[in-house]
Every structure is written in structure tokens, then in C-alpha cells.
Amino acid sequence: MDPINAAIEFLESAASGEHLSYRKVAAQFNICPTTLARRHQGKCDPYAIKSVNQQLLSQQQELHLVSHIRQLTEDGLPPSRRMLRNYCMSIVGKPASQSWVTRFLGRHKIELKTHRVKGKDRTRHKADSLPKYELYFAYLHEKIRKYHLRASDIYNMDEKGFHLGRGEGSTRIFSRDLWE
């Protein structure tokens, strides 16, 4: 038991008529007399209780948000810090700060991981245009007809995957077990 709780227990176990000085009890337990008096009179809460009461989301809401991030990671769309702030805003109706996101990630460092993802390289970004895609697929269909290829014989996957946004690099939040 920590000294402050032991001192409070000592004060409450004293006989009802006995008058105990906060200073003497605090000196006996080697704690601050002001803190002892405020805690004993109920004017302040222990740090653990206070921090839970001041959290923006409840533990249940945070666990739900972690599972949502896991689902987004499975779908290949890991959220950014800004998206996480928006999710929080939609849950509680109050804006979350950047430092809230940092503390949230710290509280869930076992489940979540941040990673800097690269955007598209410049040549890939410049090649992203509708006429070029139309030309590519016309060429592809011509080759499929020419060589009598079946759909099951054709496969390809872009190693960059699907990108949201402007193709810039950004920090994304991943479910740790799906990342590793």
C-alpha cells in the first residue's frame, strides 16, 4: 500500500474522539501534509482515478476504436493521425488534439504501430491519367484477343497497392499483429 493511502487509513482508524494533526501523521508517513489533508477531505482524487475521469474516450470506446483500426488495416486502408482525430470527434463530439493521438497510441502500443508509408514516385504520379489508362487497356484487350488468353491466365498486382489522397508520403496507424 502506498504511504498516502496508509496515512488515510490510519486517520480513519483513529478513535472518533481522538484529534490527530495532519502534520504529525504526514511526518510519520513521510508525505506532504497538504496532500494528505486534501485527499482525506475528498478535495482531490488519486492520480489513477483522476486520469481515467479526464480521458476523452472511455476504455470501451478506445477498444472499439482499436478494433476499427484493425479492420481498416485488414482492408488495406490504415488510418492517418488526422483520420484518428476525426473518428474520435465523431464518437464524443469534441475535437481531439494531436497530443491525444500520441497518448492514445502510447496506451495501445501493444496493439497498434505507426509507420511512415511512401507515396507514389514522380514517374508513377505523372503517368496517372485517364487517356493513358484507356490506351493501356485497349492495348491489353488487343493482346488478349491476339493470343487467345483466358482470364485465369492473367494476373498482376501493383506492389504499391491502393492509395488515398494525393500520393504523398504519410504516417499511418496499423494493427501491430497484421503488420508483423
Q: For residue range 11-62, what is the model confidence (pLDDT) as tens digits?
A: 888 766 677 888 988 999 899 999 888 888 888 877 666 655 567 888 899 9
- Contact between 11 and 40 under an 8 Å Cβ cutoff? The reply is yes
- Contact between 100 and 88 under an 8 Å Cβ cutoff? The reply is yes
- Contact between 76 and 162 under an 8 Å Cβ cutoff? The reply is yes
Nearest residue to 89 (alpha-carbon basis) of 74, 100, 78, 77: 100
**Model confidence over 118-136: pLDDT tens digits?**
766 566 666 677 888 888 8
Which CB contacts under 8 angstroms, 24+ apart, belong to 155-160? Answer: 160/120, 160/124
In CATH, the architecture of 55-117+167-179 is: Orthogonal Bundle (1.10)
Share of the chain above pLDDT 70, in %: 79
Which CB contacts under 8 angstroms, 24+ apart, belong to 94-100? Answer: 94/56, 96/56, 100/56
Most confident residue range from 10-14, 102-106, 167-171 = 102-106
The confidence band for 164, taking pLDDT boundaries of 50, 70 and 90, is very low
Nearest residue to 66 (alpha-carbon basis) of 164, 179, 174: 174
pLDDT at 177: 81
First to last CA, the chain: 39
pTM over 0.75: no
68: left (phi over 0), alpha (psi -120 to 50) or beta: alpha
